Chain A
Amino acid sequence: EIQLQESGPGLVKPSQSLSLTCSVTGYTITSGYDWSWIRKFPGNKMEWMGYISYSGSTNYNPSLKSRISITRDTSKNQFFLQLNSVTTEDTATYYCARRDGYYVLDAWGQGASVTVSS
């Protein structure tokens, strides 16, 4: 059974970078599919941020394109989110998820709450 788990700081200062790790067990991220980051803002709005594919290519939401980077460490079966120049508007719960062959998100992590505040 595939499991994903997010980890990282829960508090980030404005103008700094937000960094999160998604650790995957039960499936090798180079075997197939895409590996996404999604966030849910206070008030329930959901935003897909981007993905890294099993081959290492990336696809980002244009709304974030200048600030986001998704990378991976295949030896640890992990992928990472970096979001630069954060503001209070980036306060959200961040989820990692697998995007399957139907291009839907069929497995999710438990979520990591991140607050941007000085």
Chain B
Amino acid sequence: DIQMTQSPASLSASLEEIVTITCQASQNIGNWLAWYQQKPGKSPQLLIYGTTSLADGVPSRFSGSRSGTQYSLKISRLQVEDIGIYYCQQASSTPLTFGSGTKLEIK
């Protein structure tokens, strides 16, 4: 199975701050990487697919990037509605695997 190592486990940041979450894949997954946001009490929602493509309706302050087998999610100006848990997921092969999640809070 492909392991996805996600960091940090939790993050507290101020409004309007830039936030970055990273995932390291245990092997080459190309651009087969997605990010999800799970708001409190809700189901996960797709944010980014194909490493860099925003899902429908996702604000442009979210962006994704890649350097080798390290993938990053950036929130350019943190807003209150961004709180929740963020997960990466590799879509390169089954079994699909997720990162361990990053809990994002407002400082």
Q: Which residues of A contact B (CB under 8 A)?
A: 36, 44-48, 59, 61-63, 95, 99-100, 102-106, 108-111
Q: Contact partner of A108 among B43, B95, B100, CB < 8 A?
A: B43
Q: Which of A48, A61, A103, A106 has the most CB of B within 10 A?
A: A103
Are A108 and B101 in contact (CB-based, < 8 A)? no
Are A95 and B95 in contact (CB-based, < 8 A)? no
Residue B54 CB within 8 A of the other chain: no
Say whether chain A's binding surface is mostly helix, strand, loop, or mixed. Answer: loop
Number of B residues contacting the other chain (C-beta, 8 Å)? 25
Are B91 and A103 in contact (CB-based, < 8 A)? yes
Say whether chain B's binding surface is mostly helix, strand, loop, or mixed. Answer: loop
5 closest Cβ pairs, A-B complex: A103-B91, A104-B34, A48-B96, A46-B98, A108-B43
Q: Contact partner of B46 among A62, A63, A104, A110, CB < 8 A?
A: A104
